[in-house]
Amino acid sequence: MPGDCLARVYIEHIALIVDDYDAGIRFFVDALGFELVEDSPALSSRGGQPKRWVLVRPPGATTGLLLAKADGEREVRAVGEQFAGRVGLFLRVDDFQASYDRMREAGVEFVGEPREEPYGVVAVFLDVGGNRWDLLGPRPAAGA
């Protein structure tokens, strides 16, 4: 069957360009509660310059964020603009209010108040570079 070969396909990492590895780790681990999966020395594919392989992800998740330090003028300009000012990443949580309160206490900047949408409670926040994310509460029960 054609669909059988797709059963094991998933996105493993998404690269997110940051100004600084350590600031990125502090934001995602300390403020958002992600796990630091890996922080290893590496070499760039462009000229073999030293860099770090920094991978963070939400607890229990299989898809992670590869924090890539901006290298060169074009990448520096892309920090915080990877989604052209739109929400580009979506973080679903089981307890919206507890997550929202914890993130605010950790200094995460929200750009509006939480609101109810058909897909759950949502509030837009900015990451360490200024990219917009949706913090999403649980999906409403069918027929609710």
Ranges of each domain in the chain: 1-79, 80-144
Which mean pLDDT values do the consecutive 10-residue runs of the chain (144 residues) have? 68 96 98 96 76 95 95 94 96 97 97 95 98 96 69
Superfamily of domain 1-79: 2,3-Dihydroxybiphenyl 1,2-Dioxygenase, domain 1 (3.10.180.10)
- Let me know if domain 80-144 sits in CATH 3.10.180.10: yes
In angstroms, the CA 33 to CA 59 distance is 8
What lies within 8 Å, CB to CB, of 128 at 6+ separation is: 18, 19, 23, 24, 26, 27, 28
Helix/strand/coil for 23: helix
β strands within the chain, DSSP E: 13-18, 35-43, 50-57, 64-69, 87-92, 109-110, 115-117, 120-126, 132-136
What is the per-residue pLDDT for 105?
Answer: 97
What is the per-residue pLDDT for 3?
Answer: 57
What is the per-residue pLDDT for 93?
Answer: 96
What is the per-residue pLDDT for 4?
Answer: 60
What is the per-residue pLDDT for 141?
Answer: 82
* Contact (CB, 8 A) for 70 and 17: yes
CB neighbourhood size of 18 (10 A): 25
Q: Which two tokens stand for residue 2?
A: 């054609």
Q: How many helices (H) and strands (E) does the chain have?
A: 3, 9
What is the per-residue pLDDT for 86?
Answer: 97
What is the per-residue pLDDT for 87?
Answer: 97
What is the per-residue pLDDT for 5?
Answer: 61
Q: Which of 132, 136, 99, 98 is nearest to 115 (CA)?
A: 136
Q: Do domains 1-79 and 80-144 have the same CATH topology?
A: yes
